[in-house]
C-alpha cells in the first residue's frame, strides 16, 4: 500500500507515475474523501475545544453562584455530535482504505517505461556454451511428447480434477522431487536461507498483507469454514473464507506481520517448497498444452526481509541466487528487466529469468524476483527500530528459486536425446539414486 502522506503531499506526481503502469488513480474520489476527512477532523477539533471551554465556563459560573443551565445544555449536546462525527470519519477512512488497497506500487526510477512484455529489457544471457543455446542435432520434441512415456500423465489428471492439472508416476515423479530437493539444498546450504514449512491454507488478513486481496480474489482458490454449524454451546459458527496459497511468498512474508523486528536480525532470509494453487483467471486459451500454466504446481520460494537501505543490493543478490540454480543445472537462460506495464501489483522493480525451451524454440519465464520496498510492509505493519529507536517500515523481496514444474519442463527439453531418453543433469544425480538417464 502506498504512503498516504505521499498522496496528500503530491498526488499529481503519484498519479503520473501510476499512469506509467497503466493504472489510472481516481483523483476525484481521493480528493472527495480527503476533503471530507479534513472537514470532519476540523469540526471534531472545534467541538472538542468548545466542550473544554464550556466546561471551564460552567465551573466559573457555578463558583460565582450564577445560572449555568444554558451553558450546560449546550455542553450536553456536544457528545452526541462528536459520536456522529466519529462514526462518519470511520466510514470515510474505510472508504479511503479500500481505495488505497486497489492501488499498485510505484515503479522504481530505474524501471523502463513500457506497456507490456514487448517493452521489457534484456539484461544478459547465459548458456553452458557461452551466451546462446546450442541447437540440438535432431528435431526437438516438447516436454509433453517426452514426458508421457516417462510417467507424465495428463489424462488421469483430467479424470481426477479437470484441465490444467498433471499426474506424475515413476521416474518423472522422482525427477520432479529431485529438482525441489536440489533447489532447497542450494538455497539453504549455499545462499543462507532458512528452510520453512508453511500452511497451504491462509486467512483473509494474510492475503491482504501481501496484496493478493482484494484485487486478485478471482485468481485464488478458496474454501469456506463455518456458516452452517454450531459450537459446543449451540451458537452459530460464523462463516470464514480461507484461501489456498498461490505462492509461499504469502506465508513467508506474513511471518513478520504486526512485528517490530530487531534490526540486528536483518536480513531475514526464508525459503520453502510448497504447492501453489492458481485459478489462472483471464488466461483462457493460453498454454493449454502441458505443464507451463497449471492450476497446481510446486515452487521453491525465496523471501528476504531487509533494512530499506539494503533492499536493492538484496534484489540483485536474489537474482543471482535464482541464476545459480539454472547454472548448476546447465540450462540456458536470460535475465529480463520488466517494464512499468508488465510488473506485478506489489513490485517496485522486477527481474524475470527466462529459461530456453528447445521444444518451443523460445525462452519462458521460470523465476520472477521483485523488490516491493515498503509496499507490503505498510499493509503488514512490519517494522524494525532504526538507529534513533523509532519504528520504521521494513522492505520485502520475493522470488522463485525456482518454479519446479517449469524446471522439469526445461530439463526434459534441454537434455532430451534422439531416442526419447532424457539425460539426468549432474547436479540431480545424487537425488536420483545415481541414475544418469531416464529411459521410456
Annotated binding-site positions for ATP:
278-280, 365-368
Please pick, among 43, 148, 259, 365, the residue that the annotation labels catalytic.
365
Please pick, among 75, 127, 368, 370, the residue that the annotation labels catalytic.
368
Binding site membership for L-serine: which residues?
A: 247-249, 301, 400
Task: Look up 278 and say whether it is catalytic.
Answer: yes
Please pick, among 75, 246, 406, 413, the residue that the annotation labels catalytic.
406
Task: Look up 195 and say whether it is catalytic.
Answer: no
Please pick, among 51, 293, 327, 429, the residue that the annotation labels catalytic.
293
Task: Look up 364 and say whether it is catalytic.
Answer: no
SS3 labels along the chain: CCCHHHHHHHHHHHHHHHHCCCCCCCHHHHHHHHHHHHHHHHHHHHHHHHHHHHHHHHHHHHHCCCCCHHHHHHHHHHHHHHHHHHHHHHHHHHHHHHHHHCCCCCCCCCCCCCCCHHHCEEEEEEECCECCCCCCCCCCCCHHHHHHHHCEEHHHHHHHCCCCCCEECHHHHHHHHHHHHHHHHHHHHCCCCEEECCCCEEEHHHHHHHCCCCCCHHHCEEEEECCCCECCCCCECCCEEEEECCCCHHHHHHHHCCCEECHHHCCEEEEEEEEEECCCCCCCCCCCCCCCCCCEEEEEEEEEEECHHHHHHHHHHHHHHHHHHHHHCCCCEEEEECCHHHCCCCCCEEEEEEEEECCCCEEEEEEEEEECCCHHHHHHCCEEECCCCCEEECEEEEEEEEEHHHHHHHHHHHCECCCCCEECCHHHHHHHCCCCEECC
Task: Look up 365 and say whether it is catalytic.
Answer: yes
Binding site membership: which residues?
A: 247-249, 278-280, 301, 365-368, 400
Please pick, among 21, 164, 278, 383, the residue that the annotation labels catalytic.
278
> Mind telling me the catalytic residues?
278, 293, 365, 368, 406
Amino acid at each position: 500500500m502506498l504512503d498516504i502522506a505521499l498522496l496528500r503531499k503530491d498526488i499529481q506526481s503519484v498519479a503520473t507515475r501510476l499512469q506509467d503502469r497503466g493504472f489510472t488513480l481516481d483523483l476525484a474520489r481521493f480528493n472527495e474523501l480527503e476533503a471530507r476527512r479534513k472537514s470532519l477532523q476540523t469540526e471534531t477539533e472545534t467541538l472538542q475545544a468548545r466542550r473544554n471551554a464550556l466546561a471551564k465556563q460552567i465551573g466559573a459560573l457555578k463558583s460565582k453562584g450564577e445560572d449555568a443551565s444554558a451553558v450546560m445544555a449546550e455542553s450536553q449536546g456536544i457528545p452526541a455530535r462528536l459520536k456522529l462525527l466519529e462514526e462518519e470519519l470511520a466510514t470515510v477512512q474505510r472508504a479511503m482504505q479500500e481505495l488505497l488497497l486497489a492501488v499498485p506500487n510505484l515503479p522504481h526510477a530505474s524501471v523502463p517505461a513500457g506497456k507490456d512484455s514487448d517493452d521489457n529489457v534484456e539484461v544478459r544471457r547465459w548458456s553452458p556454451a557461452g551466451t546462446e543455446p546450442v541447437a540440438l542435432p535432431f528435431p526437438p520434441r516438447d516436454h509433453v511428447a517426452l514426458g508421457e512415456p516417462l510417467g507424465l500423465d495428463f489424462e488421469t489428471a483430467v479424470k481426477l480434477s479437470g484441465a490444467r492439472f498433471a499426474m506424475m508416476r515413476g521416474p518423472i515423479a522422482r525427477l520432479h522431487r529431485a529438482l525441489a530437493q536440489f533447489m532447497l539444498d542450494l538455497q539453504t546450504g549455499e545462499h543462507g536461507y532458512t528452510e520453512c514449512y508453511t500452511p497451504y491454507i491462509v486467512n483473509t488478513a494474510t492475503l491482504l498483507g501481501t496484496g493478493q486481496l482484494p484485487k486478485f480474489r478471482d485468481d485464488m482458490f478458496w474454501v469456506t469454514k463455518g456458516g452452517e454449524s454450531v459450537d459446543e454451546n449451540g451458537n452459530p459458527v460464523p462463516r470464514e473464507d480461507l484461501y489456498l496459497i498461490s505462492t509461499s511468498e504469502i506465508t513467508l512474508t506474513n511471518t513478520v506481520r504486526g512485528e517490530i523486528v530487531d534490526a540486528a536480525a536483518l536480513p531475514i532470509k526464508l525459503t520453502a517448497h510448497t504447492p501453489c494453487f492458481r485459478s489462472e483467471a483471464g488466461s483462457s486459451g493460453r498454454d493449454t498444452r502441458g505443464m507451463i500454466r497449471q492450476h497446481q504446481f510446486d515452487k521453491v520460494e525465496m523471501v528476504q526481509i531487509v533494512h530499506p537501505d539494503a533492499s536493492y543490493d538484496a534484489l540483485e543478490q536474489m537474482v543471482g541466487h535464482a541464476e545459480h540454480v539454472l547454472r548448476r543445472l546447465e540450462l540456458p537462460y536470460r535475465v529480463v528487466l520488466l517494464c512499468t506495464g508488465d510488473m506485478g501489483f506489489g513490485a517496485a522493480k522486477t527481474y524475470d529469468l527466462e529459461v530456453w525451451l528447445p521444444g518451443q524454440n523460445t525462452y519462458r519465464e521460470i523465476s520472477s524476483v521483485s523488490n516491493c520496498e515498503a509496499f507490503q510492509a505498510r499493509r503488514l505493519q512490519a517494522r524494525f527500530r532504526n538507529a534513533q529507536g523509532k519504528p520504521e517500515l521494513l522492505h520485502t523481496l520475493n522470488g522463485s528459486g525456482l518454479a519446479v514444474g517449469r524446471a522439469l519442463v526445461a530439463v526434459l527439453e534441454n537434455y532430451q536425446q534422439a531416442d526419447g531418453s532424457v539425460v539426468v543433469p549432474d547436479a540431480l544425480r545424487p537425488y536420483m539414486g545415481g541414475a544418469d538417464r531416464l529411459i521410456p
